[in-house]
Chains A and B, each alone.
Chain A
Amino acid sequence: MSDTTLSSPAASDGKDSSVPQKTSLYKEDALTKKRNASEKRFQAYGITAILIGLFFLVVMAYSIISEGIPAFTRTVLTVEFTVTQEQFDDAEGQLFKTRAYEGVFTEAMSQQFQEKEIAVPFDITAIERIVGKPGNTIRQYYLANPDQLGEPVEFELAASSRVDGYLNGRLTRDNITDSRFLMKSDLDLVDVLVEGGIIQTVFNWPFITGADSGVDNPGGAGIGASVVGSLFMMLVVLFLSLPIGVAASIYLEEFAPQNKFTDLIEVNISNLAAVPSIVFGILGLAVFIQFMHLPQSAPLVGGLVLTLMTLPTIIISTRASLKAVPPSIRDAALGVGASKMQAVFHHVLPLAMPGILTGTIIGLAQALGETAPLLLIGMVGFVARGYPDSFVGGFLDPNSAMPAQIYTWAARSDFAFYEKAWGGIIVLLIFLLSMNILAIILRRRFERRW
């Protein structure tokens, strides 16, 4: 390649063209050929490396989306029927109360089948395998809303996770085995019900808003409570790491004299940035729980640990944005009589603020996805069943956080929870993505180049 470039001025000149040449410079000899081929190869390696990286990215994105989307839909069986006061009294008077309601339910189902002209034989046990035990749900509803008696009510009963799996393709007729959970024959009934519009797939709001369920109920598990846990943790991180980080950076960048103490701080910060996150978890366990007896699994403790972890990130980015403010700003402020402190707080800091906020958001996004330290302070191994009941409780009551919840689901043996874990990852990534986009917008909008 370089040979040809060298020859081009001579060729375009045209002066020397009369001089006979044995070989044209345009003609590659063996060595040039070899060198050019190696050049091509080298370039191809580079392109391949980048393509491999992007390929992995695409594969990951694909598997997250394809495995996680089913978590956002759920299968419900919609039945509209009326329970009269007599039926209610009659059922409440019986020994097996829920069984009595199931009788009412079955009656309503067959009525609806007749209306839609569906002819399929079914018994209550098959229905139970599809929707669990509907009797209790119905009974609870009427006990809570006695005024609805005698009115037609539309019930949305959640289908079991195996029916869910059949409808979104996780289970097929070939790989299903008869069990007390689902029989092959039930699938015929499911097919008919789907055709008749009685079984429908709807958006899974309970997954977004709900709390975790026990190990035996993957269908009812939701991520809402752990989103709240993460939120409280991020509040702690934000309100501790932003002021501390900014204060530390201001000291190091603007006031610190060149001495051993400053050096010590600098070395510590750069080393802390590279300490594995699990070591911060050990620190949290030993200092906050073993030593200070703060409550286990509390978002407050998680927030404290993550604060210590994000501080180096925030300090490094804040120092970079303080450094980017030109010295002339400081000089001008000092020149009109401001003290050093006033120059920094009134002039340098406001100008560095967009950069500081960008760095903080990126640090928060990192902290939001961090899992390992949370495992050590006890955010796994229990079921986060509900939302905190007060603001202070949000910090102190045991709760899960999004990544810890995802880990808990992934560690359970029931395959149906894997779907939840992927779905949880989609929720987590949506949060991370929006935080990063916010950071980019902030940077684009407010960044000043001097």
Chain B
Amino acid sequence: MPVVWLILIVLAIAVVGYVLGRGRALAGAASEHVKLHSLPSYYGSNVAMKVAVPAFLIMVVWLLAQPIIVNNSVSGLIPETAIAEGSSRGLVLAEVRRAASGLDNAVAAGIMDEDFARNARADFNDITTRLRDAGQIVTSQITQPILRAAQEYRILNSTGRLLMTIAVLLAALAGAAWGILESKPNFRARNTVEQGVKALLIAAASIAILTTVGIVFSLVFNTIEFFRLYPALDFFFGLTWSPTFSGRGGNSELGIIPLLWGTFYISFVALIVAVPIGLFAAVYLSEYAGPKVRAVAKPLLEILAGIPTIVYGLFALLTVGPLLVSIFGPDGVGIMQAGTAVMTAGLVMGIMLIPFVSSLSDDIINAVPQAMRDGSYGLGATKSETVKQVILPAALPGIVGAILLAASRAIGETMIVVLGAGAAARLSLNPFDAMTTVTAKIVSQLTGDADFSSPVALVAFALGMTLFIVTLGLNVVALYIVRKYREQYD
């Protein structure tokens, strides 16, 4: 039975339970001549809650756990000898899953009957040709162990599904019975329902923690796996980045230094563009501009922040890159080979960060107390002198925080560098050379069908871990500075 139907059935039981629970509470009150403790709808909600919450909980846990259990037991069926040279258990398992889904589709299309698909002794050559005929993708000849594993996989999966359906329906019915029996007039239904709702609220709030845990776990486990295959020292201090996909990445050199250099160089260029422009714009908007100018200029600048980064990436690749080549390229100054370069990506990223820097600094400058400005004017200072000697020093920690936040944005930015910075990892000082960044390499190592057992793909997780730690560090420091500064004037 598809999951959608199961969900609908549980919901239907919940609705019926609602009606029954509400009715029973009302009937009880009428016959015993007492007042209900709570509004009638709470009795119904109590039943519905007891139907839906445990049933859906069981369903979600089951759906998450079943693939893991099935995979483990199927994986045990594959003998070491069935794993070909240069392959891995993971790849064979993927093959098994493909074969199983091929069988499923063939059965659904009516080309095989269920018995044939389940028959362990079926001729595997025959199965392969039949699957091919059915238009299923079979990458290679299905071998006996794979076929056996695929059949076992299908059987385990369908039994698991059946058990889940039964468990979920039982839980729903039991919940309904429990809730309906409780629905007596003196039952404190509102308190129960409110407790349940509060638990749901807490669960929703905990998703933020779960997400962080998920990020950390997915990074940590794969990173550890990577360091088992590739020495950590070579990764952190290697000066060359040249992954080779042949030989399962055995002789790749995966040093992070060139990537970090590209990342920081591009971010530096971006900040050189964004910080002065953003800061001056913020000072002008908060200290000089009249309300009319402010009302027009501020939203217009903030449009820049709302444009998706893919648009900036395309802008870098197709507009800024060719423009820079025509000036600095072989026909002009002659120091730029191609449109993709540090300068291209940095410049465009700088444009993207202008509104980020300006709106953050704007807030911080506005938080400087008016008394400090008045004091400065009273001493005869001009506006610019006040800004330079009073406001900016007072706002400095906050502005530093804003710049750090912008830097963390720049380091984590992906699409602009993927399209605008080039793919060659090199250590160079020339800003018109193509370089590449941590984020761009994560994309290139993990796009497509990644095989999670080779260091060439796993390195992306180590890169992600580095990126995560660097940006997190910058954010924590920046938020600390901003918060500390804010408290000063509160």
**Does any Cβ of A come within 8 Å of B385's Cβ?**
yes
Q: Once the chains bind, are B208 and A376 in contact (CB under 8 Å)? A: no
**Measured between C-beta atoms, what is the minimum distance from A226 to chain B in Å?**
12
Most B Cβ at <10 Å: residue of A49, A280, A370: A49
Q: Once the chains bind, are A276 and B315 in contact (CB under 8 Å)? A: no
| Per-residue B-contact encoding for A275-319, CB less than 8 Å = 1, 0 else | 111111111011100111100000000000000100110010000
Q: Once the chains bind, are A381 and B448 in contact (CB under 8 Å)? A: yes
**Does any Cβ of B come within 8 Å of A158's Cβ?**
no
**Measured between C-beta atoms, what is the minimum distance from B320 to chain A in Å?**
9
**Contact A371 B308, CB 8 Å, known A274-B408, A293-B67, A407-B415:** yes
**Contact A43 B219, CB 8 Å, known A2-B377, A293-B67:** no
Q: How far is the CA of A38 from the CA of B387 in the complex (A)?
A: 12
Q: Once the chains bind, are B380 and A2 in contact (CB under 8 Å)? A: yes
Most B Cβ at <10 Å: residue of A60, A269, A403: A60
B residues 310-369 with Cβ under 8 Å of A? 310-311, 313-315, 317-319, 351, 354-355, 358
Q: Which secondary structure dominates where chain A touches chain B?
A: helix
Q: How far is the CA of A421 from the CA of B209 in the complex (A)?
A: 38
Identify which of B2, B211, B384, B475 contacts A274 (C-beta below 8 A). B475
**Contact A39 B383, CB 8 Å, known A279-B215, A341-B194, A371-B308:** yes
Q: Once the chains bind, are A339 and B194 in contact (CB under 8 Å)? A: yes
Identify which of B190, B280, B300, B387 contacts A57 (C-beta below 8 A). B300
Q: Once the chains bind, are A392 and B4 in contact (CB under 8 Å)? A: yes
**Measured between C-beta atoms, what is the minimum distance from B489 to chain A in Å?**
21
Q: Once the chains bind, are B190 and A339 in contact (CB under 8 Å)? A: yes
Q: Once the chains bind, are A57 and B304 in contact (CB under 8 Å)? A: yes
**Does any Cβ of A come within 8 Å of B447's Cβ?**
yes
Q: Once the chains bind, are A43 and B384 in contact (CB under 8 Å)? A: yes
**Contact A403 B461, CB 8 Å, known A381-B447, A381-B448:** no
Residues of B within 8 A of A334 (CB): none
Q: Once the chains bind, are B412 and A50 in contact (CB under 8 Å)? A: no
Q: How far is the CA of A278 from the CA of B263 in the complex (A)?
A: 14
**Measured between C-beta atoms, what is the minimum distance from A346 to chain B in Å?**
12
**Does any Cβ of A come within 8 Å of B36's Cβ?**
no
Q: Which secondary structure dominates where chain B touches chain A?
A: helix
Q: How far is the CA of A245 from the CA of B317 in the complex (A)?
A: 36
| Per-residue A-contact encoding for B269-287, CB less than 8 Å = 1, 0 else | 0000000111111011100
Q: Once the chains bind, are A410 and B280 in contact (CB under 8 Å)? A: no
Q: Once the chains bind, are B212 and A272 in contact (CB under 8 Å)? A: yes
Identify which of B284, B311, B413 contacts A276 (C-beta below 8 A). B413
**Does any Cβ of B come within 8 Å of A388's Cβ?**
no
Q: Once the chains bind, are A274 and B314 in contact (CB under 8 Å)? A: no
Q: Once the chains bind, are A53 and B310 in contact (CB under 8 Å)? A: no
**Contact A271 B308, CB 8 Å, known A1-B382, A46-B283, A49-B284:** no
Identify which of A52, A274, A278 contacts B414 (C-beta below 8 A). A278
| Per-residue B-contact encoding for A372-390, CB less than 8 Å = 1, 0 else | 1001101011000000000
Q: Once the chains bind, are B464 and A279 in contact (CB under 8 Å)? A: yes
Q: Once the chains bind, are B198 and A255 in contact (CB under 8 Å)? A: yes
**Measured between C-beta atoms, what is the minimum distance from B344 to chain A in Å?**
14
Q: Once the chains bind, are A265 and B439 in contact (CB under 8 Å)? A: no
Q: Which residue of A lies closest to B303 (CB)?
A: A57
Number of B interface residues in the complex (CB < 8 A):
98
Q: Once the chains bind, are B464 and A278 in contact (CB under 8 Å)? A: yes
> Of B238-246, B254-262, B466-474, which stretch is located at the interface?
B466-474
How many A-B pairs have beta carbons closer than 8 Å: the answer is: 274
Q: How far is the CA of A292 from the CA of B351 in the complex (A)?
A: 39
| Per-residue A-contact encoding for B471-485, CB less than 8 Å = 1, 0 else | 110011001000000
Identify which of A3, A247, A274 contacts B471 (C-beta below 8 A). A274
Q: Once the chains bind, are A64 and B311 in contact (CB under 8 Å)? A: yes
Residues of B within 8 A of A50 (CB): 280-281, 284-285, 297, 301
**Contact A282 B284, CB 8 Å, known A3-B380, A293-B67, A403-B310:** no
**Does any Cβ of B come within 8 Å of A422's Cβ?**
yes
Q: Once the chains bind, are B310 and A255 in contact (CB under 8 Å)? A: no
**Measured between C-beta atoms, what is the minimum distance from B204 to chain A in Å?**
4
**Measured between C-beta atoms, what is the minimum distance from A368 to chain B in Å?**
8
Q: Once the chains bind, are B276 and A49 in contact (CB under 8 Å)? A: yes
Q: Which residue of A lies closest to B94 (CB)?
A: A293
**Does any Cβ of A come within 8 Å of B111's Cβ?**
no
Q: Once the chains bind, are B200 and A247 in contact (CB under 8 Å)? A: yes
Q: Once the chains bind, are B207 and A311 in contact (CB under 8 Å)? A: yes
Q: Once the chains bind, are A276 and B288 in contact (CB under 8 Å)? A: no
**Measured between C-beta atoms, what is the minimum distance from B460 to chain A in Å?**
7
**Does any Cβ of A come within 8 Å of B180's Cβ?**
no
Q: Which residue of A lies closest to B63 (CB)?
A: A292
Q: Which residue of B lies closest to A425 (CB)?
A: B311
Residues of B within 8 A of A278 (CB): 412, 414, 439, 442-443, 464, 467
**Does any Cβ of B come within 8 Å of A54's Cβ?**
yes
Q: How far is the CA of A341 from the CA of B192 in the complex (A)?
A: 12
Q: Once the chains bind, are B354 and A53 in contact (CB under 8 Å)? A: yes
Most B Cβ at <10 Å: residue of A42, A339, A425: A42
**Does any Cβ of A come within 8 Å of B201's Cβ?**
yes
Q: How far is the CA of A432 from the CA of B415 in the complex (A)?
A: 18
Q: Once the chains bind, are A248 and B204 in contact (CB under 8 Å)? A: yes
Q: Which residue of A lies closest to B438 (CB)?
A: A278
Residues of A within 8 A of B301 (CB): 50, 53-54, 57
**Does any Cβ of A come within 8 Å of B250's Cβ?**
no
Identify which of B206, B211, B315, B409 contacts A308 (C-beta below 8 A). B211
Identify which of A268, A291, A425 contacts B209 (C-beta below 8 A). A268
| Per-residue B-contact encoding for A67-110, CB less than 8 Å = 1, 0 else | 10000000000000000000000000000000000000000000
**Measured between C-beta atoms, what is the minimum distance from B418 to chain A in Å?**
8
**Does any Cβ of A come within 8 Å of B92's Cβ?**
no
Q: Once the chains bind, are A432 and B461 in contact (CB under 8 Å)? A: no
**Measured between C-beta atoms, what is the minimum distance from B395 to chain A in Å?**
15
**Does any Cβ of A come within 8 Å of B64's Cβ?**
yes
**Measured between C-beta atoms, what is the minimum distance from A403 to chain B in Å?**
5
B residues 382-416 with Cβ under 8 Å of A? 382-385, 387-388, 405, 408-409, 411-415
Q: Which residue of B lies closest to A38 (CB)?
A: B384
Q: Once the chains bind, are A283 and B214 in contact (CB under 8 Å)? A: yes
**Does any Cβ of B come within 8 Å of A434's Cβ?**
no
**Does any Cβ of A come within 8 Å of B381's Cβ?**
yes
Identify which of B207, B306, B307, B468 contacts A279 (C-beta below 8 A). B468
**Contact A290 B219, CB 8 Å, known A1-B382, A371-B309, A410-B313:** no
Identify which of B67, B194, B200 contacts A292 (C-beta below 8 A). B67
Q: Which residue of A lies closest to B38 (CB)?
A: A339
**Does any Cβ of A come within 8 Å of B30's Cβ?**
no
**Contact A52 B277, CB 8 Å, known A47-B284, A271-B472:** yes
Q: Once the chains bind, are A271 and B475 in contact (CB under 8 Å)? A: yes
Q: Which residue of B lies closest to A377 (CB)?
A: B446
**Measured between C-beta atoms, what is the minimum distance from A314 to chain B in Å?**
11
Q: Which residue of A lies closest to B460 (CB)?
A: A282
Identify which of B198, B207, B281 contacts A46 (C-beta below 8 A). B281
Most B Cβ at <10 Å: residue of A243, A276, A422: A276
**Measured between C-beta atoms, what is the minimum distance from A405 to chain B in Å?**
10
Q: How far is the CA of A1 from the CA of B447 in the complex (A)?
A: 61
**Does any Cβ of A come within 8 Å of B8's Cβ?**
no
**Contact A341 B288, CB 8 Å, known A2-B382, A275-B471, A282-B461:** no
**Does any Cβ of B come within 8 Å of A172's Cβ?**
no
**Contact A428 B308, CB 8 Å, known A50-B297, A256-B205, A286-B222:** yes
**Does any Cβ of B come within 8 Å of A177's Cβ?**
no
Q: Once the chains bind, are A271 and B415 in contact (CB under 8 Å)? A: no
**Contact A418 B212, CB 8 Å, known A50-B301, A60-B311:** no
**A–B complex contacts, Cβ < 8 Å, 15 sampled:** A1-B382, A2-B377, A38-B382, A39-B383, A45-B280, A53-B354, A268-B208, A268-B212, A271-B212, A276-B411, A372-B443, A381-B447, A411-B419, A429-B307, A432-B308
Given A50-B281, A278-B442: 5 more A-B contacts, CB < 8 Å: A275-B468, A292-B64, A369-B307, A407-B415, A425-B310
Q: Sorted from nearest, which 5 A-B pairs have the closest CB atoms?
A: A276-B412, A369-B308, A46-B284, A286-B218, A49-B280
